[in-house]
Amino acid sequence: MDNVAHIAAIGASNTLYLQAVNANNLANVTTNGFKADMVRLRSVNVEPRGLDTWALPERQQTGPDMSQGTIVGTGRPLDIAVDGSGLIAIQSASGKEVYTRAGSLMVSSTGQLMTKSGKLVLGTGGPISIPPFEKIDIAADGTITIRPDGQQPNVLTTVGRIKLVATDGVKLVKDAEGNIVAADGRVLTADARVKLVSGALENSNVNAVGALVTMIELSRHFETMIKLMSTAKDNAEKASQLVRLG
């Protein structure tokens, strides 16, 4: 395969990968707290050295787009949204501390505070347990207060505080489960500056129109790469015929 066909094949492969990332973003346009995945391509010079005009594209994960989605009020006490930068600490399926912006919470039958996807919400001392309650409130700093079952309206009990972490200066990536983690694998410390909006959820930050436009552009680019591969093949065959005739 000549250089043109080789480069076109790599271009087609990268385009398919970018299309898959874009399709996943589009599929999560209505997922609360979802952060769009971003990938960029950079040019890498082809060896041997000295051929600086020969370059191939290389994929680079740039981490999730952490820009804020629209916060929408729900009035549900167990719905929370991070106001500004910051993350909610949760426990992954493997037991590690990971992070999310998805704040639709629930209390399990065993009294554990969980995300809608079933991951345990963490406090400063581990998973948070909620005793039976008649009313629950989550304050801006993550403090959880309940009115226990059978108690008078003025009897309130603090049962825990959700661990909220700052992301300033931290390179973030997504793990295999889609959780947000620090790229260097470290556990982030709780930060009192991170605030919540109670009774609200953050919408996905995926721009649906932009994602659709990108899908069309990538489809056209893929078609161009395929045509270029076909043209390179035809040219190679014609060149071979000329050699035989000569």
37's tokens: 């995945």
The model's confidence at residue 48, banded by pLDDT at 50, 70 and 90, is low
Non-local CB neighbours of 149 within 8 Å, separated by 6+ positions: 131, 132, 133, 134
- The whole-number pLDDT of residue 213 equals 93
Q: What's 128's DSSP letter?
A: -
- The whole-number pLDDT of residue 222 equals 81
Non-local CB neighbours of 213 within 8 Å, separated by 6+ positions: none
- The whole-number pLDDT of residue 1 equals 47
Res 134 pLDDT > 90: yes
- The whole-number pLDDT of residue 57 equals 62
Digit-coded pLDDT (tens) for 65-114: 999 999 999 999 999 999 999 999 999 999 999 999 999 999 999 999 99
Res 132 pLDDT > 90: yes
Per-residue pLDDT, averaged over 191-220, amounts to: 94
**Cα gap 22→207, rounded to integer Å:** 11
Cα distances (angstroms) measured from residue 108 to each of 49, 115, 138: 61, 10, 17
- The whole-number pLDDT of residue 32 equals 95
Instruction: Say if strands 164-165 and 172-174 run parallel, antiparallel, or are unpaired.
Output: unpaired
225's tokens: 């790469």
More confident residue, 203 or 58: 203
Query: Where do the domains of the chain lie?
Result: 3-65+206-245, 71-202
Digit-coded pLDDT (tens) for 178-188: 999 999 999 99
140's tokens: 């801006």
**Cα gap 41→14, rounded to integer Å:** 8
